[in-house]
Chains A and B, each alone.
Chain A
Amino acid sequence: MELFSHLALGFSVALSAVNLLYALVGVLLGTLIGVLPGIGPVATIAMLLPTTYALQPVSALIMLAGIYYGAQYGGSTTAILVNMPGEASSVVTCLDGHQMARKGQAGAALATAAMASFFAGTVATILVAAVSVPLSELALKFGPAEYFSLMVLGLIGAVVLAHGSLLKAIAMILLGLLLGIVGTDVNSGAARFTFGIPELTDGIGVVGVAMGLFGFAEIIANLESKETREIVTSKVKGLWINREQFRKVWPAILRGTGLGSVLGVLPGGGAMLSAFASYTIEKKISKHPEEFGKGAIQGVAGPEAANNAGAQTSFIPLLTLGIPENAVMALMVGAMTIHNIQPGPQVMTSNPGLFWGLIASMWIGNLILVILNLPLIGIWIKLLTVPYRVLYPAILLFCAIGVYTVNNTSFDVMTTAFFGLIGVIFAKLECEPAPLLLGFVLGPMMEENLRRALLLSRGDPTVFFTRPISAGLLIAAVLLVLIIALPKMRKRRDEAFQEEA
């Protein structure tokens, strides 16, 4: 079978000593930063991205993917032990995971999270490998009109499935698109929105935007609120679960994996949505819903499986269509571009080693997580006892060094600080920065495809509706907006996110 030869190629790349080493380093660094409360996966990746510049593209992407899973997994550890989600996707893990820890079952909760993540990761890796060939072939048939409509659907989907005001989120996308076209126009060579600043002719760097909007703004927000942490550390022993717990856990893991695999592929989906959805379902079908929130082990297993499956399958649209569906994937586009890889369906054929190597490394990354993290849990706990007043200056330092060394100019540092300021304003006005980052990355691509589509149709805008695939994609986007605008659906959407408040 073709799938096996592809995976064999992938593993031969991913299992080379160098790549194995970078997967290991990535997972470790990701977990290290992920464990720290108050710094999310986007900020983590932005902060660690500069450490991959010197590497080969394959190694760099493998390391970044490792950082992503590590951050994801580290977030669960923090959620269980400190009742503070390291990442947004582990918010629901707090609910029951921390209650388990308080009852002295921290070991069981951590083991469940590890098992669920690994199982889900394995299934999702196979899924990614299986669907990427047909999807890429489909994507290669897309013309500019289809691509433009697909991006519209992707962007709309991303804001519909996220929380907060729809209107503001769409405005944030537009703002992102606008920021994305800063720099030299590829077609005419005109320098746009550069204000005569030579550094801006190459455009604004994605690292600075992400680091400022997510990292710096988060730190400033954390400094405003008083630090309250309750760490359950003394009781972590017996990192395993008993037979009765296992009986409860495995159906939840299966459901979570299925749910996460599907939701991860949707635009705007990914780890967070999957985890929320899984928790809601587990609670609904449980015979004892009253146990949820008081230490139900299914409430840890389901969401943990779902968020890992979702984290993995959210690579599918990026790898096959070249379209990121959430902020983390937007940053991955930035990373690929830095390494001179234009994400899209052509990567699979033009660079099969990189493509399949990355996919195979997903599974290896998950394996490393399980093998390393359970024994290392003691170190992560120590890290959690470091007070925030010591942590955040160190985070700032690594951000500053990282962003400075992108081009070795202080201009990039200023840009990052500027976006930090913007990020604080956005937070105060309750404008989510994630849609902006998506728009930012897609801006140039969207303009280019719009231009080409209209060139081919001789300026006739109806081309987007007369080509069937394009029309279908746009209709889907309109339907999404309509559905969410209906009062009843709006209420249910808010309910789904209420656990987070």
Chain B
Amino acid sequence: MAFVRHQKDFVAGLMFIAIGIAAIVISSNYPLGTAARMGPGYFPRVLGILLIVLGAILSLRALRFDGPRLPAWPWRPTAVVLGSVVLFGSIVQTIGVAFSTVILIAVASSASREFRPKEALISGVFLSALAVGVFVIGLKLQLPIWPWTR
């Protein structure tokens, strides 16, 4: 991408164009209606067109003006942090708050460069007790505590 002088804006522009096109394609299934009687497809198509226009201006300007290059992508923290939350969401109903909290804390902690397994475990057990006490017992949220208390 040597001809792109402002990589961040260029990619952002492409992203807006792509979303705009997707919005128009998907909403082509919805009735357009007329201006006086707007159908469900009217507003999204207007938004899609505007997004494409703005995205195009942004990308074209990026060819003329200098700007920052694309930064490195934080693969590991992104995957670990989001993964730990998704994992928690998928297992909490089955194995209960107590264990899933320890698992979430242990997995999430490993995203840090200063990860200390023992500390993470202690923190996990402490927060697990806290979460059970505050959310399940205190606020009475509908969550199982143990795998066998479903």
Contact = CB atoms under 8 A, between A and B. Distances in A.
A400 B101 CA distance: 10
A408 interface: yes
Nearest to A428: B71
A413 interface: yes
The 10 closest A-B pairs by CB, nearest first: A413-B89, A459-B36, A459-B35, A410-B89, A393-B108, A223-B77, A389-B112, A190-B40, A185-B40, A429-B12
B143 interface: yes
Given A429-B11, A430-B8, A167 B40 contact: no
B8 A51 contact: no
A397 B128 CA distance: 9
B40 A188 contact: yes
Contact of B51 (A171, A181, A428): A171
15 contacts: A167-B61, A174-B54, A177-B43, A188-B39, A221-B74, A387-B114, A389-B114, A389-B119, A394-B123, A401-B135, A405-B141, A410-B90, A410-B93, A414-B89, A428-B70
A451 B111 contact: no
Contacts of A216: 81-82, 85
A283 interface: no
Nearest to B84: A396
Interface of B: 8-9, 11-12, 15-16, 19, 23, 26-27, 30-31, 34-40, 42-44, 47-48, 50-51, 54-55, 57-58, 61, 68, 70-71, 73-74, 77-78, 81-82, 84-86, 88-90, 92-93, 97, 101, 104-105, 108-109, 111-116, 119-120, 123-124, 127, 131, 135, 139-143
B112 A429 contact: no
A51 B139 contact: yes
A16 to B, nearest CB: 21
A192 B30 contact: yes
B52 to A, nearest CB: 10
Given A192-B44, A421-B82, A393 B38 contact: no
A163 B101 CA distance: 38
A138 interface: no
Name the prevailing secondary structure of the A interface residues: helix
B51 A174 contact: yes
Contact of B85 (A171, A221, A227, A416): A416
Contact of A400 (B31, B68, B104): B104
A370 interface: no
Contacts of A399: 85
Interface residues of A, number: 65
A420 B81 contact: yes
Nearest to A391: B123
Contacts of A247: none
Contacts of B101: 397
A429 B15 contact: yes
A396 B127 contact: no
A390 B112 CA distance: 9
Contact of A393 (B19, B42, B114, B123): B123
> Which of A193, A397, A408, A457: most chain B CB closer than 10 A?
A397
Contacts of A483: none
